[in-house]
C-alpha cells in the first residue's frame, strides 16, 4: 500500500504524465457514456430480447468486445472491430501488393496514406455490417419498439434504415477517433485501450453472475467458485509469462579500439520474445471468426445450419480448431512483418557486434531467423491453447460470460494492454529518475498496439 501511494505521488509530480492519464480517463468516460446512447427510433425499454440473444454464444463475445453497446442497440453497437478488420486487410495487402509495400517504406507520409485508406475501408465494412445489425434488431424487437415516436407505423421506414446505418457508421468512426486521440494525447495505445475497457466493463457482471449461480447450487457451490477463482489466477499468471517470455541470444560488443587493435569487449544479450507478436494474432483471428455471423446478418447461431452453424458455435470443435490453427498462422505472419532478422544482423554489424561462433552478415541473419522460428512455434501453440480455454471452461459448467476470462481473446487482450500501458507509465517515471512500478523497473510490454 505504501508503495502504491508513493507511485501515485510520483505520477502526480510529472505534469505531462498526469495530464495524459487524466485525458485518457476522460476519453474512456465519453466512450462508456456513448455505449448507452440508443439509436434514435428504438425504445430502450424493449431491448430484453436483444439482451437475451447476446447473453451467450458468438454474439455474446461480440457484445463483450463492444462493452455491451451491441445489446444496448447503441450508436457504438458495432464498436471498433470494423477498424480492426480493415487494418488486417491492409496488412495483408502490404504483403502482396507493391503499392502498399511502397507506402510502408515511405515513412510518415506513407503511414498517413495507409491510415487514410484504412479509414475508407472501415466505412465500407461498417456500411456492409450495419444493415445486418439493423435487420437482426428488427427481427428481435416488436414493431412498436422500433418506432416508439410513430405508433401508427407497424414496420420500420426507409428513413429509419438509412439514418440508423449512417449513425452506426458515424459511431464507429467516432470510436476510432477517440482511440487515435488517446494514442496522441493520452497514455497507451488508444484502440487497444478501448477494446480492453469494453471487456473490463463486462467483468463485474460476469463475476457476479457466476457467484449467484454457484450460490444456487446445492453442495459446495462456494467451494467450486473459489476453485474457479484460483484457476483463473493461475491462467492469468501463465498468460503474463507467455507475453513476457524471452530467449536471450549472447552478443559481443567491442568495448574500445586503439589503433588497429581491439581491447576487451562486453557481453550483452539480444532478447527475442517467445511470443513476439503479442496479442495481435488472437485479435486478427477473432476478427475473421466474426465473419460468418456477420455474413448471415448477426443471426442467432441456434437458428443456423450447416457451415454457418459450425462456425458460429464457439463451443463446437470446428470453430475452436479453426481458431487455434489461425492463431498459429497469424503468430508467424505478424512475427515475420514486425521482426526483420536481416535488419537486426545489419545493425549488429554496423555497431561492431556479433554473435559468438556465428559470422556477421547473412550467417547471423539466418541464425536469428532459425532461433526466431523455433521459439515462435511453442509460443504460438501456447497462445492458441489459451485462446480456446474458455470452451473447456464452459464444458466444465462455468457460466458462459465468466468463462470468457479463462483465457481467450479477453484475457490475452487484458494482459497485453495492461502491461503495455504500465510500461509506458514506468518509462515516464524512470526518465524523471523516479522509482518504477516494480522493484526491477523492467515491465515488458505485451505488443498490444493495433495502430498500423
Strand 266-273 vs strand 261-263: parallel, antiparallel, or unpaired? unpaired
pLDDT tens-digit series, residues 337-370: 778 888 888 888 887 777 888 888 888 888 888 8
Least confident segment among 103-107, 142-146, 235-239, 301-305? 301-305
Provide the pLDDT confidence category of residue 449 given band limits of 50, 70 and 90.
very low
pLDDT tens-digit series, residues 139-177: 777 766 666 545 444 467 788 888 889 999 999 999 999
Q: Which of 149, 181, 157 is nearest to 38 (CA)?
A: 149
Q: Bigger pLDDT: 411 or 304?
A: 411
- pLDDT (0 to 100) of residue 451: 44
Query: What is the number of residues in the chain?
Result: 452
Q: Give mean pLDDT, residues 188-197.
A: 84
Burial class of residue 305 (count of CB atoms within 10 Å of its CB; 0-12, 13-18, 19+): exposed
Degrees, nearest 5: CA angle 240-326-310: 115
Q: Bigger pLDDT: 142 or 33?
A: 33
- pLDDT (0 to 100) of residue 167: 92
Torsion of CA 301, 304, 307, 310, to 10 degrees: 40
- Which residues lie closer than 8 Å to 28 by C-beta, 6 or more apart? 193, 194, 197
Domains for the chain: give ranges and CATH numbers: 14-187 (1.10.3370.10), 213-452 (1.10.3370.10)
Over pLDDT 90: what percentage of the chain?
5
Is there a contact between 125 and 295 (Cβ–Cβ < 8 Å)? no
Q: Which of 275, 268, 194 is nearest to 445 (CA)?
A: 275
Total-model pTM: 0.75
Degrees, nearest 5: CA angle 153-293-134: 20
For residue 311, CA distances in Å to 187, 294, 308, 316, 360 come to 37, 11, 5, 8, 48
Q: Flag whether pLDDT at 257 surpasses 50.
A: no
* Number of helical (H) and strand (E) elements in the chain, helices listed first: 19, 5
CA–CA dist 15, 21 (Å, integer) = 10
Burial class of residue 361 (count of CB atoms within 10 Å of its CB; 0-12, 13-18, 19+): middle
CA–CA dist 108, 114 (Å, integer) = 10
Degrees, nearest 5: CA angle 174-175-180: 95
For residue 295, CA distances in Å to 53, 155, 185, 284, 308 come to 17, 23, 37, 17, 9
Amino acid at each position: 500500500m505504501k508503495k502504491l501511494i508513493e507511485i501515485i505521488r510520483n505520477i502526480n509530480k510529472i505534469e505531462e504524465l498526469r495530464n495524459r492519464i487524466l485525458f485518457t480517463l476522460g476519453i474512456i468516460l465519453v466512450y462508456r457514456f456513448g455505449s448507452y446512447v440508443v439509436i434514435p427510433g428504438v425504445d430502450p425499454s424493449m431491448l430484453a430480447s436483444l439482451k437475451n440473444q447476446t447473453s451467450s454464444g458468438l454474439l455474446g463475445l461480440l457484445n463483450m468486445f463492444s462493452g455491451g453497446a451491441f445489446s444496448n442497440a447503441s450508436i457504438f453497437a458495432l464498436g471498433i472491430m470494423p477498424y480492426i478488420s480493415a487494418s488486417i486487410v491492409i496488412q495483408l495487402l502490404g504483403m502482396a501488393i507493391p503499392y502498399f509495400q511502397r507506402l510502408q517504406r515511405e515513412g510518415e507520409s506513407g503511414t498517413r496514406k495507409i491510415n487514410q485508406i484504412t479509414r475508407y475501408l472501415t466505412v465500407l465494412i461498417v456500411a456492409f455490417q450495419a444493415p445486418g445489425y439493423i435487420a437482426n434488431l428488427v427481427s428481435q424487437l416488436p414493431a412498436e419498439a422500433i418506432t416508439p415516436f410513430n405508433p401508427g407505423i407497424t414496420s420500420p421506414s426507409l428513413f429509419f434504415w438509412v439514418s440508423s446505418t449512417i449513425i452506426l457508421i458515424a459511431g464507429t468512426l467516432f470510436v476510432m477517433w477517440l482511440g487515435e486521440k488517446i494514442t496522441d494525447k493520452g497514455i497507451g495505445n488508444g484502440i487497444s485501450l478501448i477494446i480492453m475497457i469494453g471487456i473490463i466493463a463486462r467483468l463485474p457482471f460476469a463475476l457476479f453472475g457466476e457467484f449467484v449461480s454457484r450460490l444456487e447450487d446445492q453442495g459446495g457451490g462456494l467451494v467450486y467458485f473459489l476453485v474457479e477463482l484460483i484457476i483463473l489466477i493461475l491462467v492469468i499468471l501463465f498468460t503474463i509469462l507467455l507475453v513476457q517470455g524471452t530467449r536471450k541470444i549472447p552478443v559481443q560488443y567491442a568495448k574500445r579500439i586503439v589503433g588497429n587493435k581491439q581491447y576487451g569487449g562486453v557481453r550483452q544479450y539480444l532478447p527475442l520474445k517467445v511470443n513476439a507478436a503479442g496479442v495481435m494474432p488472437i485479435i486478427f483471428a477473432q476478427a475473421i471468426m466474426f465473419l460468418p455471423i456477420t455474413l448471415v446478418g448477426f443471426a442467432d447461431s441456434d437458428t443456423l445450419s450447416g457451415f454457418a452453424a459450425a462456425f458460429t458455435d464457439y463451443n463446437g470443435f470446428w470453430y475452436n480448431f479453426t481458431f487455434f490453427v489461425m492463431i498459429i498462422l497469424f503468430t508467424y505472419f505478424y512475427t515475420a512483418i514486425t521482426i526483420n532478422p536481416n535488419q537486426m544482423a545489419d545493425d549488429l554489424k554496423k555497431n561492431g557486434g556479433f554473435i559468438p561462433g556465428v559470422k556477421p552478415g547473412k550467417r547471423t541473419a539466418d541464425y536469428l531467423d532459425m532461433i526466431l522460428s523455433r521459439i515462435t512455434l511453442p509460443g504460438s501453440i501456447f497462445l492458441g491453447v489459451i485462446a480456446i480455454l474458455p470452451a473447456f471452461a464452459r464444458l466444465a459448467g462455468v457460466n458462459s460470460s465468466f468463462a470468457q476470462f479463462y483465457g481467450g481473446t479477453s484475457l490475452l487482450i487484458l494482459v497485453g494492454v495492461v502491461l503495455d500501458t504500465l510500461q509506458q507509465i514506468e518509462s515516464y517515471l524512470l526518465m524523471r529518475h523516479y522509482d518504477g512500478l516494480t522493484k526491477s523497473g523492467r515491465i515488458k510490454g505485451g505488443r498490444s498496439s493495433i495502430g498500423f
